[in-house]
Structure 1
Amino acid sequence: MPTRAYIGLGSNLADPAEQLRCALEALDQAEGTRLAGVSGFYASDSLLPGQPRYTNAVAALDTSLTPLQLLDALQAIENGQGRVRQERWGPRTLDLDVLLFGEQVIDIPRLKVPHYHMQARPFVLYPLAELVPADFALADGRRLAALLEDCPFVGLERL
């Protein structure tokens, strides 16, 4: 039985919307995964001043991969699209993050699920809300509706 995972996508270099479209195609074609849904695309300001705006989305995947196998697959897609890891918050062609992985709470050095800081990122929460039921709860028990109330739709533009 596959696990439903939610993946955050972001890009602010090299035609960001096209980067996301290519990443979605790669996610759907990756071994052990099937694209089950995609939010709309959103433009958001960078977390650091002076960087180009990001284009963000969330994808729902059904996967037979383990969490770390999925992380490896995501990093391979990022690398294939020219991702260079120079600094933690630097501009990037593509950023793929495991936001949620079924009902699992994961806290290991390489992976934290639910994704850390997602509760403070409207560019994650609002696209996620397009893909899940209104009463959705994260694996750690937090309700998405409550997170949305605490994270206003500020600095976002639906594309």
Structure 2
Amino acid sequence: MSQHKVVLLLGSNMGDQKKNIDTALDKINEVCLILKKSKYLTSDPVEFASSNIFCNIASIISTHLSPIQLLDYVKKIEIEMGRTTDSTISKVYTDRIIDIDIVKYGELKFTSERLKIPHEKHLFEREFSKILLEDLIKNNK
């Protein structure tokens, strides 16, 4: 079983946001190895209106899971933690207890109905994502 380096982005804008992120990271660490974490960053909601600001973090993990297995696993974590809507299905962004996005999976380019790797919005469009990803790279040297 080969290991893959994957970049995840986690965010929360409900309840104790840092605790939500840390809980999700603990659950991820049960199956994958967390190699590195960025700093926490707060940001305004993107692509929807809310009075709740987000707390976000980026992480590099090592996993033997395939992209779809990893997606299934992080979606399971989101549901276990109380997330009730999935924006990839509903096409509507809402407040969320936890959001876990697969940003990069090694150098893989992959597209399906449920998943697109790399996650281009996080890599090129969303300012908070670019800051977190740069922090990961900067602290990786």
TM-score normalised over the length of structure 1: 0.78
Partner in structure 2 of residue 69 of structure 1: 69
Question: What is the rounded CA distance, in whole Å, between the counterparts of 1:92 and 1:76 in structure 2?
Answer: 14
**Given residue 127 of structure 2, which amino acid in structure 1 is its aligned partner?**
P
Question: What is the rounded CA distance, in whole Å, between the counterparts of 2:51 and 2:71 in structure 1?
Answer: 26
CA shift in 2, pair 1:14/1:4, >3 Å: same
Question: What is the rounded CA distance, in whole Å, between the counterparts of 2:7 and 2:135 in structure 1?
Answer: 12
Kindly tell me the number of residue pairs found equivalent between the two proteins. 132
Partner in structure 1 of residue 19 of structure 2: 18
Partner in structure 1 of residue 35 of structure 2: 36
Q: Which is higher, the Rg of structure 1 or of structure 2? A: 1
Give 1:129 deviation, angstroms.
1.4
Give 1:27 deviation, angstroms.
0.9
Unaligned runs of 5+ in 1: 135-159
Task: For CA contacts below 8 A with separation 6 or more, give which structure has more relative contact order.
Answer: 2
Tell me, yes or no, if the aligned pair for 1:34 and 1:62 is still in contact at 8 Å: yes
- Superposition pairs of residues 9-158 of structure 1, within 5 angstroms: 9-30=10-31, 33-47=32-46, 48-85=48-85, 88-118=92-122, 119-132=124-137
Question: What is the rounded CA distance, in whole Å, between the counterparts of 2:85 and 2:119 in structure 1?
Answer: 19
Moved over 4 A (4+): none
CA RMSD of aligned residues (A): 1.6
Partner in structure 2 of residue 7 of structure 1: 8
Which is helix-richer, 1 or 2?
Answer: 2
CA shift in 2, pair 1:42/1:133, >3 Å: closer
Partner in structure 2 of residue 144 of structure 1: none
Question: What is the rounded CA distance, in whole Å, between the counterparts of 2:50 and 2:4 in structure 1?
Answer: 38
Question: What is the rounded CA distance, in whole Å, between the counterparts of 2:34 and 2:103 in structure 1?
Answer: 15
